[in-house]
Structure 1
Amino acid sequence: MKVLYDHQSFTGASYGGVSRYFFELLRSFAKRDDIEFELSLRFSNNEYLDQESFSRHFRFRPLAHLQNVNRLASMLNRIHSVQRLQKAKFDIFHPTYYHKYFLNYINGKPFVLTFHDATSERYGHQYPELGENLNEVKKVLIKKADRIISVSEYSKQELLTFYNIDPDKIKVIHLGTSFAHYRPKQVTAPFEFPYLLYVGKRPLYKNFPDFFRAIQPVLHRHSDIHLVCAGGGAFTRAEQDLFHAARLGHRVHYRPVTDSALYGLYQHALAFVFPSLNEGFGIPVLEAFSCGCPAVLSNRSSLPEVGGDAAVYFDPDDDASMADVVERIITDDSLRNDLRWKGAERIRLFSCEKTAQQTYQVYKELV
């Protein structure tokens, strides 16, 4: 069996949950002899592919800030993917995002679509930059796909809510994280002060500004506690103004991330906080569990499904709820220790190998 993956999620993103999902899938399949795959990619600055590259692509980091260069890279990658589709030397096609360019070239071969979340469906009107126009494209792909992989039961229910689809066409396959087995050679404490850790993008439905507003009184009461934001881009001017207006500018820190740096940030944090309004799965939750970091999560979307009883939860629309739970995690040593133990147990339910095996079964049913 040979599977063809395309360029989409690897073209423009150095980091990100979708490209990481496909990278971990390919890395698991590379260890097996019952499946072959090809990643059709010519230009990419994706950081995960620096660990193990599954394509002979070119990197263009010095030019990555130029919009026209990225557009050209995307166009050339699509041309290359079309050429690989036209060669038809594969049994299954698995696109890595939602563009429908391939439908005219797939020539009857089966394709599998992964549905990550319904963020654009839920919030596209409120935040047009999320890609409200994705919904019509998704509708076409969901109808034509031979199988749909949903990354959580929550996302499956979102699929059924927003699209007319046979439930039997959907297979729920939870994700895993390589952090479960990742052990850096040396992990040093990144800061000398205690801190809460926020990971990933911050705007829009990620709910970071509202979360920061809610916990300002807590941070003022506990003057030794800092807030560290890892990844997601450097702070904007508006964010910096927000921190300084709260008289907390010296206690909110940004750090870019590599795997080793992120592992250390999780391992030494008082707790990981995730106030998002909508997540299809939430890989950072598993990363926190893998590193022995207590998790404090929004009680929305898939997060309770992933976190189970190994996390504590707040209402992300309620300032008092967010503040109360954060204060509790800061002041209760026994709670943090209990969550570390429960997280170590919970992570055993998820693995990249399990994700790959269940995905393989979906492919096998179509060949």
Structure 2
Amino acid sequence: MKVLYDHQSFTGVSYGGVSRYFFELMRSFAKRSDIEFELSLRLSNNEYLDQTSFSRHLRYRSLAQVRNAHRIASVLNRLYSLQRVKAGKFDIFHPTYYHRYFLNAIGSKPFVLTFHDATSERYGKQYPEVGEGLYDLKKQLMRRADCIISVSEFSKQEILRFFPVEPEKIKVIHLGTTLGESLPASETLAAPLEAPYLLYVGKRGLYKNFDGFFRAIQPVLYRHPDLHLICAGGGVFSQDEQALFHAAGLVNRVHYRPANDTSLIALYRHARAFVFPSLNEGFGIPVLEAYSSGCPVVLSNRSSLPEVGGDAALYFDPEDDDSIAGAVERVLTDDALQADLRRKGTERLRNFSCDQTARQTLEVYQSLH
């Protein structure tokens, strides 16, 4: 059996959850003899693909800052992917994002669509930049898809809430993480900061609720004058964020760190706690990353996060400042609770793996072949 993946999530994106998901799928399949795959990609600066032999794309890092470079790469990649779809040398097609370019060319070949979250459906009116215009496109793709993979039970319910899809067409397959597999737990990594710190990971805008989280923990930071906050990834601080930190008198205790796998492991391992205040997550890979690094986890009680976190996290209401501050204060001051969360996180992680995700995805492909 041969699966064709397309270019979409690898174009113009160096890092990101969706491209990581497809990269890990292909990396798992590359170890198996019962499946072949092709990635139809010509131009990409995706960092994950640098580690592999299964993609023969060209990198254009020196041109990445040139105006319209990503747009041109996207057009060329789409033309190439369309050519590969029309060639028909595959059994299953699995596009890596939501675009209809292939619909008229795919004929009767089965295709699988992965649905990550309903952020654009939930928050499109409130935050148009999350992709308000995607609804009709998603609906068209879901109607034609032979199977829809949902990354959580929560996301499956979101599909059924927003789209006219039969429940039996949706297969829930949880994600995994390989963060930390390349570094043994015994290997010492230097602490990114000598002072104790809370860790926040990923984008900070809109429904990610970073501003609300920062407002809520200000009293905690004032009560613990040696405590810092590190934000990993998600881009450097904006002027508005810097003004927020200045106004709180905490500008010297909030730090930005770029994130690659090695730096992330060090950040998780040395943090007093990882805090995830998001209002909406389709899955929430950072929860598993924290578990894999032995970091206590404090989570929003919304969307898929309780499904992923299970009993290995401390939960709060992300729209209640006292609830956030209370949960953070508890984990900071209770050593027994920290140890319990670390132990439970290690146990919880056993329920999730990238090879398991790949195995269940292969079962979906086989059911359609």
Per the TM superposition, whether the score is higher than 0.5 is yes
Report the Cα distance in structure 1 between the residues aligned to 2:335 and 2:135, rounded to whole angstroms: 45
Residue type of the partner of 1:33? S
Q: 1:65 Cα shift? A: 2.9
Report the Cα distance in structure 1 between the residues aligned to 2:188 and 2:3, rounded to whole angstroms: 37
- Is 1:87 equivalent to 2:125 in the alignment? no
Q: 1:108 Cα shift? A: 1.3
Give the TM-score taking structure 2 as reference length: 0.98
8 Å contact kept, 1:6–1:94? yes
Residue type of the partner of 2:7? H
User: Counterparts of 1:1-367 in structure 2 under 5 Å?
Assistant: 1-179=1-179, 181-183=181-183, 186-367=188-369
Q: Deviations over 1:294-343 (max 9, x none)?
A: 00010000000000000001100111111111111111111111000000
Q: Deviations over 1:324-365 (max 9, x none)?
A: 111111111111110000000000000001000000000000
What is the percentage of aligned positions where both structures have the same residue?
71
Structure 1: which 5+ residue stretches go unaligned?
none
Residue type of the partner of 1:182? S
Deviating more after overlay: 100-109 vs 150-159: 100-109
8 Å contact kept, 1:111–1:145? yes
Q: 1:63 Cα shift? A: 2.5
Q: Deviations over 1:96-135 (max 9, x none)?
A: 0011111011121100000000000000000000110011
Number of equivalent positions:
367
Q: 1:161 Cα shift? A: 0.3
8 Å contact kept, 1:13–1:45? yes
Report the Cα distance in structure 2 between the residues aligned to 1:31 and 1:90, rounded to whole angstroms: 19
Residue type of the partner of 1:166? E
Give the TM-score taking structure 1 as reference length: 0.98
8 Å contact kept, 1:294–1:343? yes
Q: 1:53 Cα shift? A: 4.3
Please state whether the residue corresponding to 1:14 is helix, strand or coil.
coil
Report the Cα distance in structure 1 between the residues aligned to 2:344 and 2:357, rounded to whole angstroms: 22
Residue type of the partner of 1:181? E
Residue type of the partner of 2:314? V
Report the Cα distance in structure 1 between the residues aligned to 2:39 and 2:66, rounded to whole angstroms: 25
8 Å contact kept, 1:180–1:351? no
Please state whether the residue corresponding to 1:189 is helix, strand or coil.
coil
Structure 2: which 5+ residue stretches go unaligned?
none
Residue type of the partner of 1:39? L
Report the Cα distance in structure 2 between the residues aligned to 1:91 and 1:186, rounded to whole angstroms: 46
Q: 1:182 Cα shift? A: 3.1
Report the Cα distance in structure 1 between the residues aligned to 2:54 and 2:123, rounded to whole angstroms: 34
| Aligned-residue RMSD, C-alpha | 1.0
Residue type of the partner of 1:299? N
8 Å contact kept, 2:180–2:265? no
Q: 1:219 Cα shift? A: 0.3
